[in-house]
Amino acid sequence: MKREYAVLAVLLIPILVVAHPGGVDSFGGHKNKSTGEYHCHRDTCRAAQNQVQSATQDAEKEGRSFSQLYDRKDYPHWSDLDGDCMNTRHEILAASSVGNTRISPNGCYVSSGQWNDPFSGKVYTRASDLDVDHIVPLKWAHTHGAAEWPRNLKEKFANDPENLIAVDDALNQAKGARGPTEWMPPNHSYRCEYLSRWVLVLKKYSLAMQPSENRVFQKQLSACSLSS
């Protein structure tokens, strides 16, 4: 599937409208009052305008709408929602450790324990070797329906334990924002459970795959005898 490009809607309706010729707005262009056309006068503006055109063409070909610009800051994560000074990352680490867990004197941080990483099948004892992965990545969710969510729902999603798992940091980075049709855990014995967690989160938050993704996803589920 072609990579989906984010679109800056503000480029289509510049904040500052000036006559042509004349000054430029903060995006490096301005609108011609006579024709209504928007003109770019800086390379950054032209690059963004090309991105808009490319995203529009991709969306038309794939029968979908393009998303708003993704900003990870719009999805507050590692929040301390219960006010106990331990944020979501460390709560997941504490809850998933199967051995003795060392927590900082103030009770806010987990430094060591014993974690069975399902992505690699390896055992880790240092918290610093682990990332807390979003099973359904934030950016993936954003481009599949979450862009329109209010901020409080985005924060809930970003800190939902049902969508979080402690894994090898390098594998989490290798996964990036890719869905299961593009990336699967190297540990084959965990793959069906990984898919089942995708099913759970997609249903819980009413997120939907693109048709081309869903065709592959359904085949993956069928191979595991899972129902979406």
- Give DSSP secondary structure letters for 38-63: EEE-SHHHHHHHHHHHHHHHHHHHHT
Same domain, 215 and 148: yes
pTM, rounded to two decimals? 0.73
Which of 29-38, 81-90, 126-135, 172-181 is predicted with the least confidence, judged by mean pLDDT?
Answer: 29-38
Domain assignment present for residue 33? The answer is: yes
**How far is 225 from 228, CA to CA, in rounded Å?**
10
pLDDT digits (tens, 9 = 90+) for 4-36: 444 433 333 343 333 444 566 655 776 565 554
Coil, strand or helix: which one is 168? strand
Confidence of residue 50 (pLDDT cuts 50, 70, 90): low
Phi first, then psi, for residue 164 (nearest 5°) are -125, 145
Same domain, 92 and 48: no
Record the tokens describing residue 58, joined without a space: 């991709």
Confidence of residue 3 (pLDDT cuts 50, 70, 90): very low
Domain assignment present for residue 3? The answer is: no
Is the pLDDT confidence value at 210 over 60?
Answer: yes
Confidence of residue 41 (pLDDT cuts 50, 70, 90): confident
Q: Indicate the number of domains in the chain.
A: 2
Last residue of a domain, one of 62, 82, 104: 62
**How far is 17 from 29, CA to CA, in rounded Å?**
9
The length of the chain is 228
Domain assignment present for residue 183? The answer is: yes
Same domain, 16 and 92: no
Residue 90's nearest CA partner among 81, 78, 73 is 78
Same domain, 45 and 88: no
Q: Which domain holds residue 38?
A: 9-62
Domain assignment present for residue 67? The answer is: no
Domain assignment present for residue 2? The answer is: no
Same domain, 52 and 84: no
